[in-house]
């Protein structure tokens, strides 16, 4: 409890400890499955077959993964500045409004220029909605955690009002907009591959995936290869020291939250422009919160985020198949796993650090002959 | 007179909607005053509701349900305590994890036991907390204003509601008039000073987390066994976060917490009442506007435009003993 922790070797820090944390989360998940009277090994088998067993499963897995890369990056960018943005859910929801308004009002734009404008509109709306909590954190010292929680509810009410009272097609029961024109659609891979003679089953997996990878590369370059990235990391490490380095934490805070909000707009691109082709009620479905788990599991590094996003994509796709075969293991199991990952990879991240450090120290003290 | 009666009825239902907020808000107050930030109130409320409904369903006894709901919530609270106090975790992350795990787990287990998407069967009357009619309700009925107020606002609530109201002065007294309360508030402001005085920071924070668990557990019990008569997945529906907003709005003080929770409960009752109503001069009321008012008010307050909400100085910061 008292002696300070010795630094671990790099391999233990970046690989062993995170793996142990995630393993603990999955071990407890297995016990939960056991407790409700199902076989965890069989559940894992069904889950993996459902997620990766055929091209259709893989398509859906990658479609979900695309969403999680965007929301994971959005959360991670803020992590680097020491900010906890719980509002990705609401920012993505409002970003959907931007994408929809562009598609519904600018249908005259030629070809695919519309979709480009719609993507930019999603980013701008997401950023604008994040701007208020960001500004309040930077200039008025209001805690971004509380304000973004409040803003999630404000987003939900605002969008509910707009979809039910303003954007709904007159005479329609469902609270949703009309279909977007063809130019406002991000093409799906099975459509693109058809002319090339490649048959890919009909899945919502679309070009947004490539955009997500580009964003991941962009975030990596920004955080570790630019002056702004250095400023973000410095503010995250020690805001008062950053001031002595001539960095304005307020400015960095606002820029970071804007970036985060813009990245959360990617969720709208993937789901609204890539699959639904219309704005629907509560389309975000908690995916903004999945971003928290993905960012923590991926340790806020783009490569880690992509891997974690694919794992969560497998969980969502395989989990749906699993719930179909084993009704007792409903999709709520995925939320449990997600929460346990946040608990062990986030809150209890140091749980295994001391035992591992002790073990390694003992081995170096008495090297095995 | 008729609008006045309607107003009394809305006030009464505002109180019923405010009770879970009061309990959860006081729970958060205890925790955060000791320096442990708790955004997991939502998940804990759900835990309390599930534990209470599950045991009440099996035993048919409301009191056993209450005990189960509180015990389950305290257990979850201790996980947050362990992460926050012993593991020095990021308390926001820990709270988020608790919200996710409990949200999924209650629905999953509920679904595994009862099917029906996780909803318990309707609970029998013996498993519920019935409303208590206070003496003289009928005697006071003929009195014009008072009779109505007494019948609809003061009388006719269940035991958990009266307990919730009693916890406000108890919390006030315990925090401001006892040695324990003084130390607890001190540990939220300056744990190092408390430690120097030879008092256990860890012990104080764990007791706060424990009290928090009991109170927020009761709010869940109220949801399942007094308000709804069943458990349903996600039934807390954001009330834990409204309680959090109320806590900020009340600036972490018990009496303002009561007032804020009643105000938010009243707004909730009003928005239900005005659903689809058309008012003169205003037209159709956008119910969403009333429903978001608590969140907007809290953000405005946090922004420092109406007074300043300053949290306990050391809340959210793990205490590291000097080495």
Runs of H (alpha helix) within A238-331:
239-244, 249-268, 287-297, 302-325
Distance CA A87, CA A100 (A): 20
**CB proximity under 8 Å: A 178-237 to B:** none
**Pairing between β-strand B283-284 and β-strand B278-279 as defined by DSSP bridges:** antiparallel
Angle in degrees, 0-180, between the axes of helices B179-189 and B159-177, rounded to the nearest 10: 80
Q: How many CB atoms lie within 10 A of CB A335?
A: 25
Q: Which residue has the tokens 């490490």?
A: A237
pLDDT of residue A257: 97
Residue B1 has pLDDT above 70, yes or no: no
Q: pLDDT tens digit string along A266-315?
A: 999 999 999 999 999 999 999 999 999 999 989 899 999 999 999 999 99
Nearest CB to A142: which of B93, B101, B302? B302
Q: Where are the domains of chain B?
A: 2-302
How confident is the prediction for chain A on average, in pLDDT? 91
The first and second tokens of residue A90, run together, are 């609401």
pLDDT of residue A303: 95
Q: Does A6 touch chain B (CB under 8 A)?
A: no
Task: Identify all chain B residues contacting A147, using CB atoms and an 8 Å cutoff.
Answer: 299, 302
A2 pLDDT band (50/70/90 cuts)? very low
Angle in degrees, 0-180, between the axes of helices A287-297 and A55-80, rounded to the nearest 10: 70
Contact A348 B100 (CB under 8 A): no
Q: Does A343 touch chain B (CB under 8 A)?
A: yes
Mean pLDDT within A85-111: 93
Q: Measuring CA to CA, which residue among A324, A336, A331, A316 is closest to residue A64?
A: A316
pLDDT of residue A358: 83
Contact A338 B104 (CB under 8 A): yes
How confident is the prediction for chain B on average, in pLDDT? 89
**Does ipTM come in above 0.85?**
yes
pLDDT of residue A352: 87
pLDDT of residue B143: 79
Contact A336 B299 (CB under 8 A): no
More confident residue, A215 or B140: A215
**CB proximity under 8 Å: A 295-324 to B:** 296
Exposed e or buried b per residue across A266-285, where buried means at least 16 C-beta atoms within 10 angstroms of its C-beta: bbbbbbbbbbbbbbbeebbe
Q: CATH 3.40.50: does it fit domain B2-302? A: no
**CB proximity under 8 Å: A 227-256 to B:** none
Residue B135 has pLDDT above 90, yes or no: no
CA separation, residue A218 to residues A229, A259, A318, B149, B192 (Å): 11, 11, 30, 63, 43
Q: Does B238 touch chain A (CB under 8 A)?
A: yes
Task: Identify all chain A residues contacting B233, using CB atoms and an 8 Å cutoff.
Answer: 332
Contact A332 B104 (CB under 8 A): yes
Residue A17 has pLDDT above 50, yes or no: yes
pLDDT of residue B310: 78
Nearest CB to A153: which of B87, B101, B241? B241
Residue A233 has pLDDT above 90, yes or no: yes
Contact A143 B94 (CB under 8 A): no
Contact B323 A2 (CB under 8 A): yes
Contact A332 B238 (CB under 8 A): no
Q: pLDDT tens digit string along B71-93?
A: 999 999 999 999 999 988 889 99
Q: 3-class SS at A267?
A: helix
Q: Does A37 touch chain B (CB under 8 A)?
A: yes
Contact B89 A349 (CB under 8 A): yes
Q: How would DSSP label each residue in A96-159?
A: HHHHHHHHHH-TTS-TTHHHHHHHHHHHHHHHHHHHHHHHHHHHH---HHHHHHHHHHHHHHHH
pLDDT of residue B323: 53
Distance CA A24, CA A102 (A): 45
CA separation, residue B213 to residues A58, B16, B83 (Å): 43, 21, 15
Closest approach of A196 to chain B, Cα-based (Å)? 43
Q: Measuring CA to CA, which residue among B213, B207, B198 is closest to residue B180?
A: B207
Highest mean pLDDT among A123-127, A136-140, B301-305: A123-127
pLDDT of residue B307: 67
Task: Identify all chain A residues contacting B109, using CB atoms and an 8 Å cutoff.
Answer: 36
Contact B89 A334 (CB under 8 A): no
Burial of A368 (0-12, 13-18, 19+ CB in 10 A): exposed
Contact A36 B112 (CB under 8 A): yes
B306 pLDDT band (50/70/90 cuts)? low
Q: Which residue has the tokens 């449990």?
A: A336
Nearest CB to B97: which of A143, A333, A342? A342
Distance CA A122, CA A112 (A): 16
Q: Does B234 touch chain A (CB under 8 A)?
A: no
Give the start-end residues of each E strand in chain B.
Answer: 278-279, 283-284
Closest approach of A265 to chain B, Cα-based (Å)? 22
Weakest mean pLDDT among A234-238, A365-369, B178-182, B249-253 = A365-369
pLDDT of residue B140: 78
Nearest CB to B303: which of A32, A140, A330? A140
Q: Does B90 touch chain A (CB under 8 A)?
A: yes
Nearest CB to A346: which of B93, B241, B299? B93
Contact A335 B107 (CB under 8 A): yes
Q: pLDDT tens digit string along B9-39?
A: 888 889 999 999 999 999 999 999 999 999 9
pLDDT of residue A366: 64
- Closest-CA residue of B relative to A145 is B92
A6 pLDDT band (50/70/90 cuts)? low
pLDDT of residue A367: 57
Q: Which domains does chain A have, with CATH numbers?
A: 21-356 (1.10.3470)
Q: Measuring CA to CA, which residue among A125, A107, A152, A120 is closest to residue A291?
A: A152
Residue B296 has pLDDT above 70, yes or no: yes
Q: What angle do CA A213, A219, A221 make, to 5 degrees?
A: 105
Q: Does A335 touch chain B (CB under 8 A)?
A: yes
Residue A5 has pLDDT above 70, yes or no: no
Residue in A21, A290, A343 to test binding to B, most B beta-carbons within 10 Å? A343
Residue A3 has pLDDT above 60, yes or no: no
Residue in A138, A316, A332, A341 to test binding to B, most B beta-carbons within 10 Å? A332
Weakest mean pLDDT among A117-121, B105-109, B283-287 = B283-287
Closest approach of A247 to chain B, Cα-based (Å)? 23
Task: Identify all chain B residues contacting A37, using CB atoms and an 8 Å cutoff.
Answer: 112
Nearest CB to B101: which of A84, A343, A349? A343
Distance CA A315, CA A17 (A): 22
Distance CA B58, CA A35 (A): 18
Q: Does B105 touch chain A (CB under 8 A)?
A: yes
pLDDT of residue A365: 67
Contact A145 B107 (CB under 8 A): no
Cα-atom radius of gyration of chain B, to the nearest Å?
A: 20
Contact B90 A150 (CB under 8 A): no
- Closest-CA residue of A relative to B320 is A2
Residue A107 has pLDDT above 80, yes or no: yes
**CB proximity under 8 Å: A 52-111 to B:** 84, 86
HSE at residue A35, side-chain half, CA atoms within 13 A, is 12
More confident residue, B268 or B286: B268
Q: Measuring CA to CA, which residue among B243, B223, B218, B244 is closest to residue B166?
A: B218
Q: Does A32 touch chain B (CB under 8 A)?
A: yes
Residue A99 has pLDDT above 80, yes or no: yes
Longest CA span, chain A:
81
Model pTM score: 0.91
CB of A40 within 8 A of CB of A33?
yes
Q: pLDDT tens digit string along A28-77?
A: 999 999 998 899 999 999 999 999 999 999 999 999 999 999 999 999 99
Burial of A77 (0-12, 13-18, 19+ CB in 10 A): buried
Residues sharing a CB contact under 8 Å with residue A368, sequence separation 6 or more, in sequence order: none
Q: Measuring CA to CA, which residue among A318, A331, A305, A256 is closest to residue A45?
A: A318
Q: Does B88 touch chain A (CB under 8 A)?
A: yes
Residues sharing a CB contact under 8 Å with residue A318, sequence separation 6 or more, in sequence order: A46, A47, A48, A49, A50, A51, A52, A57, A61
Q: Does B258 touch chain A (CB under 8 A)?
A: no
Q: Does B252 touch chain A (CB under 8 A)?
A: no
């Amino acid at each position: 409890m008292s002696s300070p922790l010795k630094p671990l070797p790099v391999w233990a820090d970046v690989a062993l400890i995170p793996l142990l944390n995630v393993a603990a989360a999955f071990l407890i998940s297995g016990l939960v499955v056991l407790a409700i009277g199902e076989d965890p090994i069989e559940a894992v088998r069904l889950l993996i077959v459902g997620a990766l067993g055929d091209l259709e499963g893989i398509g859906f897995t990658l479609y979900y993964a695309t969403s999680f890369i965007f929301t994971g990056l959005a959360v991670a960018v803020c992590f680097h500045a020491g900010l906890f943005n719980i509002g990705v859910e609401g920012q993505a929801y409002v970003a959907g409004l931007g994408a929809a308004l562009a598609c519904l009002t600018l249908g005259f734009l030629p070809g695919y220029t519309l979709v480009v404008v719609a993507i930019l509109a999603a980013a701008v709306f997401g950023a604008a909605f994040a701007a208020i909590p960001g500004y309040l954190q930077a200039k008025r010292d209001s805690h971004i955690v509380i304000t973004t929680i409040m803003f999630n509810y404000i987003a939900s009410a605002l969008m509910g009002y707009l979809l039910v009272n303003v954007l709904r097609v007159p005479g329609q029961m469902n609270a949703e907009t009309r279909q977007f024109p063809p130019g406002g659609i991000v093409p799906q891979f099975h459509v693109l591959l058809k002319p090339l003679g490649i048959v890919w089953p009909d899945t919502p997996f679309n070009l947004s995936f490539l955009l997500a990878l580009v964003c991941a590369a962009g975030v990596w370059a920004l955080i570790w290869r630019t002056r702004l990235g250095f400023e973000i990391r410095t503010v995250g490490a020690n805001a008062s020291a950053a001031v002595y380095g001539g960095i304005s934490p307020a400015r960095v805070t606002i820029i970071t939250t804007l970036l985060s909000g813009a990245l959360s707009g990617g969720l709208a691109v993937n789901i609204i422009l890539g699959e639904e082709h219309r704005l629907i009620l509560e389309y975000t479905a908690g995916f903004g919160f999945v971003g928290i788990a993905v960012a923590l599991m991926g340790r806020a590094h783009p490569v880690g985020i992509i891997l974690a996003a694919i794992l969560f994509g497998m969980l969502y796709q395989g989990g749906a198949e699993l719930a179909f075969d084993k009704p007792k293991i409903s999709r709520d199991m995925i939320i449990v796993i997600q929460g346990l990952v946040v608990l062990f990879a986030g809150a209890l991240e140091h749980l295994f650090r001391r035992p591992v450090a002790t073990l390694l120290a003992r081995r170096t003290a008495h090297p095995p002959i | 007179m008729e609008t006045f009666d309607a107003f009394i009825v809305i006030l009464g239902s505002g109180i019923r909607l405010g009770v879970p907020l009061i309990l959860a808000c006081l729970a958060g107050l205890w925790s955060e005053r000791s320096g442990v930030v708790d955004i997991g109130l939502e998940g804990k409320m759900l835990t309390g509701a599930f534990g209470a409904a599950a045991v009440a369903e099996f035993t048919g006894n409301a009191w056993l349900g209450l005990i189960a709901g509180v015990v389950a919530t305290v257990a979850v609270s201790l996980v947050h305590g362990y992460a926050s106090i012993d593991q020095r975790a990021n308390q926001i992350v820990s709270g988020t994890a608790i919200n996710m795990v409990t949200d999924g787990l209650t629905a999953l287990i509920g679904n595994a036991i009862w099917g029906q998407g996780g909803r318990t069967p309707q609970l029998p009357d013996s498993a519920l907390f019935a409303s208590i009619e206070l003496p003289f309700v009928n005697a006071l009925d003929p009195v014009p204003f008072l009779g109505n107020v007494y019948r609809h606002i003061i009388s006719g609530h269940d035991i958990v509601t009266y307990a919730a109201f009693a916890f406000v002065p108890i919390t006030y007294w315990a925090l401001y008039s006892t040695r324990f309360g003084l130390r607890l508030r001190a540990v939220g402001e300056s744990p190092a000073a408390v430690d120097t005085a030879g008092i256990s920071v860890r012990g104080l924070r764990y007791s706060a987390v424990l009290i928090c668990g009991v109170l927020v557990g009761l709010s869940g019990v109220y949801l399942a066994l007094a308000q709804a008569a069943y458990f349903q997945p996600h039934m807390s529906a954001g009330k834990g976060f409204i309680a959090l907003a109320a806590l900020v709005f009340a600036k972490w003080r018990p009496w303002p917490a009561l007032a804020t929770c009643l105000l938010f409960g009243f707004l909730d009752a009003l928005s239900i009442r005005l659903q689809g109503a058309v008012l003169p001069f205003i037209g159709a009321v956008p119910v969403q506007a009333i429903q978001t008012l608590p969140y907007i008010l809290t953000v405005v307050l946090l922004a420092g435009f109406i007074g300043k909400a300053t949290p306990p100085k050391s809340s959210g910061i793990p205490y590291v003993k000097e080495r």
